[in-house]
Chains A and B, each alone.
Chain A
Amino acid sequence: ELKVEQNPLFLSMQEGKNYTIYCNYSTTSDRLYWYRQDPGKSLESLFVLLSNGAVKQEGRLMASLDTKARLSTLHITAAVHDLSATYFCAVARQEYGNKLVFGAGTILRVKS
């Protein structure tokens, strides 16, 4: 069974600081996604990571994938208040078709 774990589950940080959210998954995976969710809103896709060593960056967010360690990280650089949201990683595996298994999410609060 494919399981996805994120940590931390809650992160409070000051503006300007750096931090990393971790996503571990239990079995081999074909694709890993990072989503952002604002309160009361739906999921916004941030990154799709397909292969070992993949790194993608958008603004202050950078995601990476280590398929051997079954680990993805979402690194936040010089956080700003607008990044406050809940971040989910989700994993897909070929034998499951295109369906995604999500982690529990990391609530990020950036304090001004």
Chain B
Amino acid sequence: GAGVSQTPSNKVTEKGKYVELRCDPISGHTALYWYRQSLGQGPEFLIYFQGTGAADDSGLPNDRFFAVRPEGSVSTLKIQRTERGDSAVYLCASSLTATPGGGELFFGEGSRLTVL
């Protein structure tokens, strides 16, 4: 696609529910990143993929969060047993590669998650 596409754009769920957020990167980009942006703050790194493998998942806050990228393109961020503190905008970005200097990160519009 022309840009990074994220769905859904908005998700409202109840505490304790399971949520999946999807990211479709720019065609040909092998690196994919997930960030979380809480209100009034800068994006916080969660995880990034180079191809199908998670190269760095050090930003995932706990084991309720998991992300996959099975075919090296689309990625899904999965949140189990959601909590109110998970409410944020989840941003996805992609770049040509994840090597240093591997190109600019292009961000999607984000998925706004609200946990009631």
| Chains A and B form a bound pair | yes
Residue numbers of A with Cβ under 8 A of B are: 4, 30-31, 33, 41-43, 45, 48, 88, 90, 92, 94, 96-105
Q: Say how far A70's CB is from chain B's closest CB, in angstroms.
A: 17
Q: Say how far A106's CB is from chain B's closest CB, in angstroms.
A: 10
What per-residue 1/0 map shows which CB atoms of B54-92 lie under 8 Å from chain A?
Answer: 011000000000000000000000000000000000010
Q: Say how far A95's CB is from chain B's closest CB, in angstroms.
A: 8
Q: Say how far B7's CB is from chain A's closest CB, in angstroms.
A: 14
Q: Say how far B36's CB is from chain A's closest CB, in angstroms.
A: 11
What per-residue 1/0 map shows which CB atoms of B87-116 lie under 8 Å from chain A?
Answer: 000010101011111111111111000000
Number of interface residues of B (CB under 8 A): 30
Chain B residues with Cβ under 8 A from A104's Cβ?
40-42
The residue on A at minimum CB distance from B43 is A102
Chain B residues with Cβ under 8 A from A97's Cβ?
48, 50, 55-56, 98-100, 102
Asked, given contacts A96-B56, A98-B97, A98-B99, whether A45 binds B104 with beta carbons under 8 Å apart, the answer is: yes
Which among B40, B55, B105, B110 is the interface contact of A100 at CB below 8 angstroms?
B105
- C-alpha gap A92/B56 in the complex (Å): 14
Chain A residues with Cβ under 8 A from B33's Cβ?
98-99
Check if A99 sits within 8 Å of B56, measured CB to CB: yes
Q: Say how far A11's CB is from chain B's closest CB, in angstroms.
A: 15
- C-alpha gap A104/B38 in the complex (Å): 10
Check if B97 sits within 8 Å of A100, measured CB to CB: no
Chain B residues with Cβ under 8 A from A102's Cβ?
35, 42-44
Chain A residues with Cβ under 8 A from B95's Cβ?
98
Check if B48 sits within 8 Å of A99, measured CB to CB: yes
Asked, given contacts A42-B91, A43-B43, A43-B91, whether A98 binds B107 with beta carbons under 8 Å apart, the answer is: no
Asked, given contacts A98-B31, A98-B102, whether A43 binds B55 with beta carbons under 8 Å apart, the answer is: no
